[in-house]
Amino acid sequence: MSTTLSPELLRQYDVPGPRYTSYPTADRFVEAFGPADYAQALRQRREGPAALGLPLSLYVHVPFCESLCYYCACNKIITKHHERAAGYLQYLQREVELHVRELGPGQPVGQLHLGGGSPTFLSDDELRELMAMLRRNFTLVPRAECSIEIDPRTVSAQRLSVLKDLGFNRISFGVQDFDPDVQKAVHRVQPFDQVAALMADARRTGFDSINMDLIYGLPKQTPESFARTLAQVASLKPDRIALYAYAHLPERFKPQRRIVASDLPDAGAKINMLSQALAAFLSTGYVYIGMDHFALPDDALAVAKRQGRLHRNFQGYSTHADCDLIGLGVSAIGKVGATYSQNAKTMAEYCDLLDQGKLPVTRGLALSRDDLARRAVIMALMCQGQVLFESIELAWLLDFRSYFAAELEQMRELQRQGMVIVDDAGIQVTAQGWFFVRAVAMQFDKYLQADRNRARFSRII
């Protein structure tokens, strides 16, 4: 795949846009969708085709962090009072019991992910308690993918062994940048040597895959400093890399108000850093999965891309078939059938609903036929890099060329720029277009086309 992307093209597509971990996107959820609607979706799953044993995906949100990272836009609670975790686990138990009441016991699970916050805020015993509770109520299938996000500042070699014993086979290190000045500017100091030693411990422990998260566009970052970070990352050779663009939205995310705006790199520097990263990772053997994900050729994600088996959910690209996702914990998002749901975003409201014996859902969406058809198109583009007209027509009983006439007209400009190829069979994203696949998918987003207030989304570049 070519990495010769012109600065002009990168600059043109340096615009806000959804990441399409779902369609419609979460900003379209409505409060009219509540606990009763979600409970009905769970019952319909139990009684429908999914009852034949299609595995679930589970996401558990652990909101606690010991210290504040200024760039963070996650739902989190900053505290050094670790005793708060015990009470939270009790509420998670109540939420799981409510799910089991609707779904039935022992539902198979093929994918489990612990995110946050910092899941490693929990003690070893609390992690054991959490995993035991999940195993009592669900059935992890053989070779289930079990992943956990790790703050390298809170984990030792001994803790890694505990995580492996608990069944976790994939781990993700939050790194962001190795430059000391950048780390101080975002209030997350973790020396390279500390992370390198922990990576070596993780390899010896035998995890199937190790991911590393990076961010470009942070305060104090320069193309020169980021080049050093890229070289350090390449020396560690994580199995996967997630490279995110920092979105500075201090009016929405209070922690970001502590970042000095004048310390942020300008658009030209950000584009330079992205170009550097693309060249560095691809030249050292990584496969570009899509958007902001890279993987080594033998990693399951790279294999899935080669075989056309990529999928996408609220955690990003996945090797698992499109399946129902149960979100557990404060602010967690789920997908069951043709519905999306999100739990209460504050701990007080989350606990209050559970105290009332209700599922803690405060908003969501029941998808229309148009939503489902457009979701199929967008996910085909985002995951397979192509959409075949006939497959959409057969699945949704529509004539693609007439139903999406306006969208196909918009494809002409993208085709002129070499982003896509449109023929009688369908739309194919080119090698160049794969770097801008969000821009291609955006053309089929009915809500986005009608909404010019797009600044709430992260930028494509």
pLDDT of the residue at 28: 94
Question: Which residues line the annotated binding site for [4Fe-4S] cluster?
Answer: 65, 69, 72
**Residues annotated in a binding site for S-adenosyl-L-methionine:** 59, 71-73, 116, 149, 176, 188, 213, 247, 333
In which residue are the tokens 């929990």 written? 122
Distance CA 346, CA 40 (A): 24
- pTM (two decimals): 0.92
Is domain 1-24+367-461 in CATH 1.10.10.920, yes or no?
Answer: yes
Determine the pLDDT at residue 275: 84
Q: Residues within the annotated binding site?
A: 59, 65, 69, 71-73, 116, 149, 176, 188, 213, 247, 333
Burial (CB count <10 Å: 0-12, 13-18, 19+), residue 260: exposed
Residue range(s) occupied by CATH 3.80.30.20 in the chain: 28-326
Question: Which pLDDT does position 1 carry in this prediction?
Answer: 42
CATH code 1.10.10.920 region(s) in the chain: 1-24+367-461
pLDDT below 70 — which residues of the chain? 1-5, 7, 49-53, 451-461
Asked if residue 361 lies in contact with residue 368, where contact means CB atoms within 8 angstroms, the answer is no
pLDDT of the residue at 291: 77
- In the prediction, which pLDDT does 318 show? 84
Query: How far apart are alpha carbons 90 and 371 in whole angstroms?
Result: 36
In whole angstroms, what is the distance from residue 92 CA to residue 95 CA?
5
CB 177 within 8 A of CB 229: yes
pLDDT for the residue 249: 87
pLDDT at 3: 46
Q: Which fold has domain 28-326?
A: pyruvate-formate lyase- activating enzyme (3.80.30)
Tokens of 182: 């950048």
* End-to-end alpha carbon distance in the chain: 18
Q: Which amino acid is at 33?
A: F
For residue 245, give Cα distances in angstroms to 15, 93, 231, 302: 11, 36, 18, 22
Output the pLDDT for position 224: 97
Q: Residue 327 to residues 12, 330, 359: CA-CA distances in angstroms?
A: 36, 9, 11
Which among 315, 244, 301 has a CA at the least distance from the CA of 277? 244
What pLDDT, on the 0 to 100 scale, is given for residue 317? 85
